[in-house]
A and B are shown apart, each in its own frame.
Chain A
Amino acid sequence: MILEINNLTKQYNKHKTALEDYSITIDKGILGLLGPNGAGKSTLMKIIATISKPTRGTVFLNGKDIVKNPDYIRKTLGYLPQDFGVYPNLNAYEFLEYIAAMKGVGGKGLKQRIEMLLDGVNLMADAKKPIGTYSGGMKQRIGIAQALLNDPKVLIFDEPTVGLDPEERVRFRQLITNLAEDCIIILSSHIISDIETIADEVAIMHKGKLVTKGQLPQIIRHAENNITQSDVPVTLNLEDAYLYYTQKS
């Protein structure tokens, strides 16, 4: 399972370029995307999720061009957008049944699959209530459950921990760590501690460009080496390193 992004550019208009000549290769495991607002994280995720077409460049999943053949990734894609909505008149069970139909998941086991996912995100007790009555955190958990419906091999989470309480955030981290064994997981978050705790690799973006990508210790070490002016060693955490890279670029 390998996702190759080559020279990706997304230009919305003459003055707005969201991604510029962006190349990255993503392997199994968790890739944390970091970057300030407007860095192009959501645009990149939308292109990988096939709901936005790049102006230039290619995206290959296992050697198949998913810009030209989007249905190849859609079968195995789990996507949690940053700002998603729900149908308030449906209950959680009906909503997941609907999303399952979208993803082409059916059969006798579907009911049990939905129940287990609802149980997993702690919504079983409210499964029969209209989603319109849910709190923000409950809706976010429905979003997480829907992303997992089709045994995804590529999971894209855009700000997944927004609205979750601390305990739920811990559970979410645990969940995606377990999933990462045989999935590509791309995760963007403004909560650096989330990325720091769970990401195998980190990619820092700024103004539509990839500033750096690598394993967490490498990135931090590189920043430390560059900041060190004298013989006194500097110790940084990811937040410091992130600030260093974004201010430098």
Chain B
Amino acid sequence: MFRLPSTWRMLICITHKNHEAVSYLFSIIKADYLQRTRSYAFLLTLAITVYVAYLFMPSHTASYTTLAVPGYKAAFNAAWVGYVSAIMTTVMLSFYGFLLVNSGIKKDIETEVGLIIATSPISNFQYLLSKHISNYLVLLSITACICVTSMVMFFVRGGDHPFILGDFIWPYVIFALPALFLVAALAVVAEVFLGKKSILQFIIYFFLCGAMMAGISEANKDGKNAIFDPFGLSTMTNSVKNQINLTYKEDIKAVSFGFIFSKPVPFQIFVWQGLNWKGSFVFSRLIWIGLGLGLVYFSSFFFHRFDFRQAPGKSKKKRLEKEPVVQLTSKSAAINLSLLPPMIADYSILPFMKTELLLLVRKDNKWLWLISGAIWLSTIFVPLNLAHRYLLPVLWLLQVNRWSDIATREKTGRLHYFTYASYKPLFRMLPAQILAGITLAVLLALPVLLRYTFSLNYPTVGYILNGAFLVVLSAIFLGMISGGKKLFEILFFLLTYAVLNKLPLADYLGTTPHENHNNYMLIIFLLNVALASASFLIRNYQLRHL
């Protein structure tokens, strides 16, 4: 009988096994991707994405620009619309995309699916790779949505310039795809090493991104170090700068990037024809992709595989082991309701507020309170302007995890069966949650508020209080409509980012002086009323439709 040589048999076996592994991996990725995208939160994210993609391409008369050269504005040809939207997507999504996808493993812990996964033959690397690719697919879906919107924007703004498909495809492929691959990998790595410490993950990630952005703009002024720029931003800005300098004999040193607001000034239209891709630059994108894969592979050696007793730094679990579960004894008392003290009715919301505040305070680790405490103390001593403009937004941002699930934690904790069946939940529970959230915000802002009060600057006090309501009511409203906390977290992060960058439109704290202070305060107040009304209506519906 004919028998294949053993090496051949082994090879066939390995190929077969690999085929099986790929098939398993595909199923896991598919399920994970569908689980994440089949939600209202994702639908909302896409809706917001379309709007943001629209904002990427402001008209020449708009009060802001996204890629700005003083005194010049680009013609809306296919190259400009395609490349600018691609580079904006790459940078913006690299920032907030991390927030969007960095809970894949956490979800498996919460749903306890992780325990099933842990007992399956899938290797750590395969599991993490599946999470990585699933993260990546989520980001790619958003990218595809922006790409299509940018094509629509070309026809809206483009006039009689010809439509060139390659100008929309290539910048996305070469700028966005490798950068987002790395972002998806970093989200997995952050989850492996920092677990549930999501705030710490955000802080480290944004510090890293911020440092990278600063490094890129400093080191790549001459455009020679573009391969070290994961976003590809410097390649784009240098090309635009060089073309204007060459064509119009200018000496422009830098091109601004981001949402930049400015007063209307005379400008000249220039035509930019896109980039000539260099082989070294394209190859450098592969290096970033390789780095992403390498990081995931490296982290697989440290992955807990849902075995928290062996995971380092789990002192809580160790403490648990020492505490024996109390055994039932027949001596324990029986319940006799007639022996209980008489029941006294008390329908006030104060006891709720107390517990809600307690829940807010106990959320997150103590180290976060330490940082918050240090910033809070600083707001007493540093110049008031600095405390208001920078420290307060950061201090509030650090509490994002406390506020983000204020309206959804009942449901995620499966406590809503009790709360929804309680006496007048709409007018007792919800106001208590809102007031507890606002109390926390006000306590954190207290030094700033008191200093403004003592200096008789009451409008700014009003601004900050309005802002406190806005933050808490947004958390509640967005939590209710999305059913999760991510949407608020992302929007609050973007809002804080915009405030720190002095974007007047996002100035919900009154930190930047502008002409219509009072009108703006009124708009925020009305927005608060709308958010509160909508939240009450949604909760009223939820209460009876479990």
Complex: chain A residue closest to B413, CB-CB: A85
Complex: chain A residue closest to B346, CB-CB: A106
Cross-chain contact A106 with B421 (CB below 8 angstroms): no
Q: A167: CB under 8 A from chain B?
A: yes
Name the interface residues of A101-128: CB closer than 8 Å to any CB of B: 101-110, 112-113, 116-117, 119-123, 125-126
On chain A, the residues within 8 Å of B428 by CB distance are: 102
Q: B543: CB under 8 A from chain A?
A: yes
On chain B, the residues within 8 Å of A98 by CB distance are: 351-352, 355
Cα of A163 to Cα of B259 in the assembled complex, Å: 56
**Interface size class of chain A, counting residues whose CB lies under 8 Å from the partner chain:** 35 or more
The 8 Å CB contact of A49, one of B323, B358, B421, is B421
On chain B, the residues within 8 Å of A83 by CB distance are: 414, 417
Q: B314: CB under 8 A from chain A?
A: no
Known contacts: A53-B544, A85-B414, A174-B334. The answer to whether A113 contacts B341 by CB under 8 A is: yes
Cross-chain contact A84 with B418 (CB below 8 angstroms): yes
Complex: chain B residue closest to A183, CB-CB: B337
The 8 Å CB contact of A108, one of B329, B334, B336, B344, is B344
Cross-chain contact B344 with A110 (CB below 8 angstroms): yes
Cα of A79 to Cα of B546 in the assembled complex, Å: 15
Known contacts: A103-B423, A165-B328. The answer to whether A121 contacts B335 by CB under 8 A is: yes
On chain A, the residues within 8 Å of B332 by CB distance are: 119-120, 122, 171
Q: B347: CB under 8 A from chain A?
A: yes
The 8 Å CB contact of A52, one of B337, B347, B359, B544, is B544
On chain B, the residues within 8 Å of A135 by CB distance are: 325
Cα of A51 to Cα of B414 in the assembled complex, Å: 13
Cross-chain contact A94 with B358 (CB below 8 angstroms): yes
Q: How many residues of chain B have a CB within 8 Å of chain A?
A: 51
On chain A, the residues within 8 Å of B323 by CB distance are: 129, 133
On chain B, the residues within 8 Å of A104 by CB distance are: 345-347, 422-423
Q: B116: CB under 8 A from chain A?
A: no
Q: A90: CB under 8 A from chain B?
A: yes
On chain B, the residues within 8 Å of A70 by CB distance are: 544
Shortest CB distance B347–A (Å): 4
Cross-chain contact A116 with B414 (CB below 8 angstroms): no
On chain B, the residues within 8 Å of A178 by CB distance are: 335-337
Cross-chain contact B355 with A94 (CB below 8 angstroms): yes
Cross-chain contact A90 with B355 (CB below 8 angstroms): yes
Contact with A along B345-365 (1 / 0, CB 8 A): 111100110010011001100
Name the interface residues of B313-341: CB closer than 8 Å to any CB of A: 320, 323, 325-326, 328-330, 332-337, 339-341
Shortest CB distance B417–A (Å): 4
Complex: chain B residue closest to A171, CB-CB: B334
Name the interface residues of B395-424: CB closer than 8 Å to any CB of A: 409, 412-424
Known contacts: A85-B413, A120-B334. The answer to whether A109 contacts B341 by CB under 8 A is: yes
Cross-chain contact A50 with B342 (CB below 8 angstroms): no
Q: B545: CB under 8 A from chain A?
A: yes
Cα of A73 to Cα of B246 in the assembled complex, Å: 80
The 8 Å CB contact of B429, one of A102, A117, A179, is A102
Cross-chain contact A126 with B344 (CB below 8 angstroms): no
On chain A, the residues within 8 Å of B58 by CB distance are: none
On chain A, the residues within 8 Å of B158 by CB distance are: none
On chain A, the residues within 8 Å of B11 by CB distance are: none
Q: A146: CB under 8 A from chain B?
A: yes
Q: B343: CB under 8 A from chain A?
A: yes
Known contacts: A51-B546, A98-B352, A122-B326. The answer to whether A81 contacts B417 by CB under 8 A is: yes
Cross-chain contact A90 with B359 (CB below 8 angstroms): yes
The 8 Å CB contact of A102, one of B333, B336, B343, B423, is B423
Q: A86: CB under 8 A from chain B?
A: yes
Cross-chain contact A84 with B421 (CB below 8 angstroms): no
Cα of A105 to Cα of B346 in the assembled complex, Å: 5
Shortest CB distance A94–B (Å): 7
Contact with B along A62-90 (1 / 0, CB 8 A): 00000000110011010101011111111
Shortest CB distance A223–B (Å): 34
Cross-chain contact A101 with B351 (CB below 8 angstroms): yes
Name the interface residues of A158-173: CB closer than 8 Å to any CB of B: 165, 167-168, 171
Cross-chain contact B343 with A150 (CB below 8 angstroms): yes
Cross-chain contact A86 with B420 (CB below 8 angstroms): no
Contact with A along B514-546 (1 / 0, CB 8 A): 000000000000000000000000000001111
On chain A, the residues within 8 Å of B420 by CB distance are: 51
Complex: chain B residue closest to A117, CB-CB: B335
The 8 Å CB contact of A71, one of B355, B414, B424, is B424
On chain A, the residues within 8 Å of B421 by CB distance are: 49-51, 74, 77, 79
The CB with the most chain A CB atoms within 10 A, among B340, B418, B429, is that of B418
Complex: chain A residue closest to B348, CB-CB: A106
Cross-chain contact A146 with B418 (CB below 8 angstroms): yes
Shortest CB distance B327–A (Å): 9
Cross-chain contact B320 with A113 (CB below 8 angstroms): no
Cross-chain contact A89 with B345 (CB below 8 angstroms): no
On chain A, the residues within 8 Å of B413 by CB distance are: 85-88
Q: A221: CB under 8 A from chain B?
A: no
On chain A, the residues within 8 Å of B320 by CB distance are: 133
Cross-chain contact A116 with B417 (CB below 8 angstroms): no
Q: A99: CB under 8 A from chain B?
A: yes
The 8 Å CB contact of B544, one of A50, A71, A138, A165, is A50
Cross-chain contact B346 with A102 (CB below 8 angstroms): no
Q: B223: CB under 8 A from chain A?
A: no
Name the interface residues of A208-232: CB closer than 8 Å to any CB of B: none
On chain A, the residues within 8 Å of B336 by CB distance are: 120, 178
Complex: chain B residue closest to A109, CB-CB: B341
Q: A31: CB under 8 A from chain B?
A: no
Cα of A110 to Cα of B343 in the assembled complex, Å: 8
The 8 Å CB contact of B343, one of A86, A94, A123, A151, is A151
Q: A175: CB under 8 A from chain B?
A: yes
Cα of A53 to Cα of B428 in the assembled complex, Å: 21
On chain B, the residues within 8 Å of A110 by CB distance are: 341, 344
Cα of A168 to Cα of B355 in the assembled complex, Å: 30
Q: A28: CB under 8 A from chain B?
A: no
Known contacts: A51-B544, A121-B335, A122-B329. The answer to whether A105 contacts B340 by CB under 8 A is: no
The 8 Å CB contact of A125, one of B326, B342, B351, B543, is B326
Cross-chain contact B362 with A116 (CB below 8 angstroms): no
On chain A, the residues within 8 Å of B425 by CB distance are: 102
Shortest CB distance A75–B (Å): 6
On chain B, the residues within 8 Å of A192 by CB distance are: none
Q: List 18 A-B contacts (CB under 8 A).
A: A50-B544, A52-B546, A70-B544, A71-B424, A79-B421, A85-B412, A87-B409, A97-B351, A98-B351, A102-B423, A102-B429, A103-B422, A103-B423, A106-B345, A125-B326, A151-B343, A175-B334, A178-B335
B contact set with A: CB distance below 8 Å: 320, 323, 325-326, 328-330, 332-337, 339-348, 351-352, 355, 358-359, 362-363, 409, 412-425, 428-429, 543-546
- New A-B pairs, 18, CB < 8 Å, besides A50-B421, A89-B362, A120-B336: A51-B417, A52-B544, A75-B345, A75-B423, A89-B363, A90-B359, A97-B351, A99-B418, A102-B418, A102-B423, A104-B346, A106-B344, A106-B351, A119-B332, A133-B320, A150-B343, A167-B328, A178-B335
